[in-house]
Amino acid sequence: MKQDERTQRVRALLLRNWDPLDVSDNPHLSNEYDRYIPGILRLLDSHCSIEQMERHLARMETEEMRLELIPEETARAARAVITGWADESR
């Protein structure tokens, strides 16, 4: 898979499954989470656990975005991102 395609897929996964800022309905903001894609790709490439992904997403939410964490939502998003990536990579 080409790098550009990988980036597009992670972008779509994040908007569909994570979207902590609730911006996925706005096409102008489809690049809202692009700054997090490289870090998430590194984790996916290293075959991280769901817990590792959850910690990473939680850090982005609390430290980068200053959101209050909703742990169950972050856990659900982490699971969906990892399983979604695995499904698409088959």
Nearer to another protein, 32 or 54 (CB): 32
C-alpha closest to that of 78 among 60, 55, 62 = 55
- Burial of residue 31 (number of CB atoms within 10 Å: 0-12, 13-18, 19+): exposed
In the complex with another protein, the residue whose CB is nearer, 22 or 87, is: 22
CB of 27 to another protein, least distance (A): 7
Cβ proximity to another protein, 59 vs 89, nearer residue = 59
Residues binding another protein (CB under 8 A): 21-23, 25-29, 32, 35, 63-68, 70
DSSP state for residue 84 in the 8-state scheme: H
- Tell me how far, at minimum, the Cβ of 64 lies from another protein, in Å: 5
Provide the minimum distance between the beta carbon of 24 and another protein in the complex, in angstroms, as a whole number: 10
- Which DSSP state fits 29? G
10, two tokens: 């992670």
